[in-house]
Chains A and B, each alone.
Chain A
Amino acid sequence: MFHRIVKPPFLNKLQWIHLGIGVLTISLLVLASVNILFTDDDWRFIIFLFATSITGFAYHQYREQSEGVKNNGVWFGSLTSRGLLAWATALGLTAFYCLLYWWPEYLGLNASGNTGLIALFDPLSMLLKKQAASQWFVYGVFYTLCILCFGYKFLLKYKHNKYQKLRTISVMFFQLFFAFLIPEWMLRMNLPYNDLKNMWPLNYYFFDAWNIESFKSSGGMGWFFLVFGLLMIFVISPSLTYFFGKRWYCSWVCGCGGLAETAGDPFRHLSDKSLKAWKLERFLIYSILLFSIVMTAGVLYTYKTGQAELFGISTAEMRKSYGFFIGAAFSGVIGVGFYPLLGSRVWCRFGCPMAAILGIQQRLFSRFRITTNGGQCISCGNCSTYCEMGIDVRAYAQKGQNIVRASCVGCGICAAVCPRGVLKLENGSIDIFDRTPEKS
């Protein structure tokens, strides 16, 4: 006898149709990679299908849903509870990242004329910057599409919450213009490629000789990029973190954060909340920060002195292994490929040296904290479960203690999912060194 599925998530007919379009799109992309099916102008069709499947699915999911948080069935669905679909998705994403970083020729990259998937986006690339596409261009297109389309989904899910809507519009804006369109347009103008919001050490090639030389040789605009980059690191970013906490960057501006908050949102609850994970987090993130500082110092030393080695270690080798292990393997393959298994903020939490620096600033001197509302906490655990950074928010809330954690990116979801109105993200200057009194 046929039994109807009795647990959420329930998909309606129109959602199934858009899911079908999504499967079709991915199949077409795979076919394109192996040079089947496509002519030059099909990129429009592919982008249209890609965007339609995601936005259509989201529209029909939330169209009739009343305003409010509804995580029904999150731990029942195979994709969102480390089921078969999650493993399949993680495998697919990981494979894609491996090709992208290490074997782009299988995606069709070819100096004497692209083929396959990359050739499919040559026309768009010509249109934007008058150059053939690279694997990074294709990646940028899909990355931006994901933030825009899944951002739309997020906007529908949190239609009742203005904080969530504003910061999502913000990450969509910064991705589309600062990370994608403006740098491409600069290349067209023969200026160096530069994503203004992407500062060192997240942008680990900022102090590379070729990057500095390219800025210096590009006239006034190049010098502006160089000075602005330095100002971002030493003045603008610490000031903004003082006023608002690291959230101004991590969940309002950053591209990695942007993808995590939009495409990664269905996986946020998968972050590990154990004490063990917190210990690993502190060890890894500060080790990587140290690595990035030493690597950068070495690269600058070589740039200044012409000496290839610092304390007997080749700076070029150091730079190369940082790029391989941290820049590619950690931030890309593990950071995004493992979304469906480890949660959406694995890179931000365990790896990102930028997050580490902003976190130290947030912990030591910032007006930001999450306040808890007197005795109203019922220890339900929604806040901890949906914290993408794996913070055990409940442990603080049930004690009536404010939350000031280096890792908190200020996404505000804990406050949104709290059924008792216990949490609020706030900024105040008068108690910066005494923000976390324990009340009971």
Chain B
Amino acid sequence: MYKTLIIGNGIAGVSCARWLRKNTDDEIQMVSQESEYFFSRTALMYVYMGHMRWQDLEPYERSFWAKNKIDLLQGKVLSIDYELKIAYLENEKTLAFDRLVLALGSKSNKFGWPGEDLEGVSGFYSKQDLEYIEQKSNNIKRAVIVGGGLIGIELAEMFHSRKIPVTILVRESEYWSSVLPPEEAAMISKHIRKNEIDLRLNCQLQSILGDQGQVNAIVTDQQEHIPCEFVGITAGVRPNIDLVKGSQLSTDKGILVDEYLQTNIPNVYAIGDCAQLTNVSKGRKAIEAIWYSGRQMGETLAANLSGNTKSYNPGIWFNSAKFFDIEYQVYGYVPSKIVAPFDSIYWEDPAGEKSIRLVYDLSNHQISGFNLMGVRFRHEVCEKWISQNSSIQEVLAKIRMAFFDPEFYPDYSSGILDAYFQKTGKKIIPKSSGKLNAVLNFLKS
């Protein structure tokens, strides 16, 4: 029986603890500086908007942890002695361990802008950030958000829900155009403006100005002066590895781990946002600050720690988000610039808030990815088509099997089949009704 210490109680650390408990009788101790109980970080925005209370963000009842003999401790780890196998905490507390799991998460990027440490300037990542924003955004006249990613738009929606005017500065020519293909990026830019957000494209932050330590304006690279009382910094996140930097643990941007999530020190592991893979599987990145990657890493590591050796395999890429009212899903390979040998078929609803894009390889007609705006697709079906190299024609003929919108929603298959006909001159006859039985049979086959 080992004593496993997990630092960080985000989705990676908690998944590891839960699966370790399922598989073993090990002693499990979790420690987190941020909160005593695990919560869903992705849902922080909904507390600010009044959709949910803090306790609704906790996926497990508080009694769950004691019942499963997972010890929780809220506190800050100051340093780790890897030889003695002891973690030193504030208040001279110590925690001994046989095995150490580092699940330290991320922190918001800052790029040394003048004024970035003024009061009223904050990223949006942690429980403490949420509390800070709640306190600093009361009764303000304008908020400025710097950076055009997934957290930026969440912050914009939060302020919008409280009728706080928002300006967003985005470096790119359309919103999130570093990731989304041009049509989809333009759709999102338009949708953001429809929601009365002052969206500044091709625009960067030059400096943040303050008065008595409190932010009161920003200046853009076009020398425009925008008065504001809050500045949200949402220019991405990076691994939160201050605790282990400069120790004998190998780090680069994150903590370096192999495909078994093992660091260079025996019995020390890293998972989730803070881990940087040295052996990256195809179509994936070395650092992925993504909810489900954390979950998968936690599960994989728990298997390894229970003697069931398993290498980390995140599978085919997927992700999802929501931009105000437009849901976004992606499965497989969908680059922002689609170049040979890849091509794509694109259908957009006339109202301009729904679209379907199928990316495929022109040389062999194999499907490579799906990009959906305002339309829900079925994960397992898309994944199966991609993994078995289905042809674009076969996918189109059975495209109804992929629709995951609620019952009675419109059927977009004729739109996407038309788009294929426009592009190639080839007509495709639909072959599947898309009924659940057909889907189940396909997934079992």
Q: In whole angstroms, how far apart are the Cα atoms of A420 and B321 in the complex?
A: 6
Query: Are B162 and A427 within 8 A (Cβ)?
Result: no
Query: Are A374 and B51 within 8 A (Cβ)?
Result: no
Query: Are B57 and A381 within 8 A (Cβ)?
Result: yes
Query: Are A75 and B53 within 8 A (Cβ)?
Result: yes
Q: In whole angstroms, how far apart are the Cα atoms of A163 and B408 in the complex?
A: 6
Provide the B351-377 mask, 1 if CB < 8 A to any CB of A, else 0.
000000000000000000000000011
B68 at the interface (CB under 8 A from A): no
Q: Say whether chain A's binding surface is mostly helix, strand, loop, or mixed.
A: loop
Provide the A59-89 mask, 1 if CB < 8 A to any CB of B, else 0.
0000000111011111111000000000000
Q: In whole angstroms, how far apart are the Cα atoms of A431 and B437 in the complex?
A: 9
Report A-chain residues with C-beta under 8 Å of the C-beta of B380. 374
Contact flag A374-B379 (CB < 8 Å), given A72-B50, A72-B51:
yes
Report A157 CB to chain B, min CB distance, Å.
13
Chain A binder among B97-105, B261-269, B323-331: B323-331
CB closest residue in chain B, given A429: B437
CB closest residue in chain B, given A9: B50
Chain A binder among B40-48, B118-126, B227-235, B239-247: B40-48
Contact flag A385-B56 (CB < 8 Å), given A376-B320, A420-B320:
yes
| CB contact list, A414-429 vs B, under 8 A | 415-416, 419-421, 424-429
Q: In whole angstroms, how far apart are the Cα atoms of A375 and B318 in the complex?
A: 9
B407 at the interface (CB under 8 A from A): yes
Provide the B19-52 mask, 1 if CB < 8 A to any CB of A, else 0.
0000000000000000000001011001001111
Provide the A378-421 mask, 1 if CB < 8 A to any CB of B, else 0.
11111011000000001100100000000000001001100111
Query: Are B43 and A380 within 8 A (Cβ)?
Result: yes
Report A82 CB to chain B, min CB distance, Å.
11
Report A270 CB to chain B, min CB distance, Å.
11
How many B residues, CB 8 Å from partner?
A: 54
Report A280 CB to chain B, min CB distance, Å.
15
Query: Are A420 and B436 within 8 A (Cβ)?
Result: no
Q: In whole angstroms, how far apart are the Cα atoms of A71 and B321 in the complex?
A: 18
Report A-chain residues with C-beta under 8 Å of the C-beta of B378. 373-374
Query: Are B379 and A373 within 8 A (Cβ)?
Result: yes
Partner of B46, one of A380, A430, A440: A380
Query: Are B50 and A73 within 8 A (Cβ)?
Result: yes
CB closest residue in chain B, given A439: B380
Report B-chain residues with C-beta under 8 Å of the C-beta of A162. 406-410
CB closest residue in chain B, given A161: B406
A6 at the interface (CB under 8 A from B): yes
Beyond A274-B61, A384-B56, A424-B405, list 13 extra A-B contacts (CB 8 Å).
A6-B138, A10-B163, A73-B161, A376-B320, A376-B379, A380-B40, A380-B46, A382-B46, A385-B52, A394-B59, A420-B320, A420-B322, A426-B436
Q: Spell out B's residues near A (CB within 8 Å).
A: 11, 40, 42-43, 46, 49-53, 56-59, 61, 138-139, 161-163, 194-195, 291-292, 295-296, 299, 318, 320-322, 324-325, 327, 329, 376-380, 383, 404-410, 435-437, 439-441
Please list 21 pairs of residues, one from A and one from B, whose beta carbons are closer than 8 Å in the complex, sorted by A's number: A3-B139, A8-B49, A9-B50, A66-B194, A68-B325, A71-B51, A73-B50, A74-B50, A75-B53, A76-B50, A162-B409, A371-B436, A373-B378, A375-B318, A375-B379, A378-B292, A379-B42, A379-B291, A416-B406, A425-B407, A427-B436
